[in-house]
Amino acid sequence: MRYQENLRVNSEQARLRVLSRDEWDAFRKAFYDECDSISNRSQFTQLDCEDPQESSCVVNRRLLSGHSVLALEFIFDPAVPCIYWQDHYNKKTRKRIDFAIEQTRVFLVAEGKGFNLQRFVEQRLDAVTRPF
């Protein structure tokens, strides 16, 4: 009985590692789209989203002086799988977003609760567009 349970758990973990990659891509795309939207609507608030590596994504806030400041950093760890993120602009500590699977659907989970990706993106970008 325990052997079968281990097989089931290992099978779910393997599927989760494969499916989480697509969820990571959707996560990054949501930030890219919202950064573009904010930058296009405002002369003063300019956000650049970049992928320094395949498993990371950063949001930089471009200042009026032309310099950029690292605002948000996201690192995807496919082995776990999870996303570590940090709000550098507001000097917040690193947090973690996990992935959960239900049949063939993958969900983002933070602090044991599922969350709405679009709302998360808006909240994070709102926090980094406020003045110092």
Q: Is 22 exposed, middle or buried (0-12, 13-18, 19+ CB in 10 A)?
A: exposed
Predicted confidence (pLDDT) per residue in 66-119, tens digit:
789 999 999 999 999 999 999 999 999 999 999 998 877 888 999 888 889 999
Q: Which of 79, 48, 76 is nearest to 62 (CA)?
A: 48
pTM: 0.88
Taking the CB of residue 95, how many other CB atoms lie within 10 A of it?
12
Q: Where are the beta strands (DSSP E) in 1-132?
A: 46-50, 56-62, 68-77, 82-87, 95-102, 105-110, 113-114
Q: Which of 47, 43, 53, 20 is nearest to 31 (CA)?
A: 47
Predicted confidence (pLDDT) per residue in 4-51, tens digit:
777 776 677 788 888 899 999 999 999 999 999 999 998 888 999 999
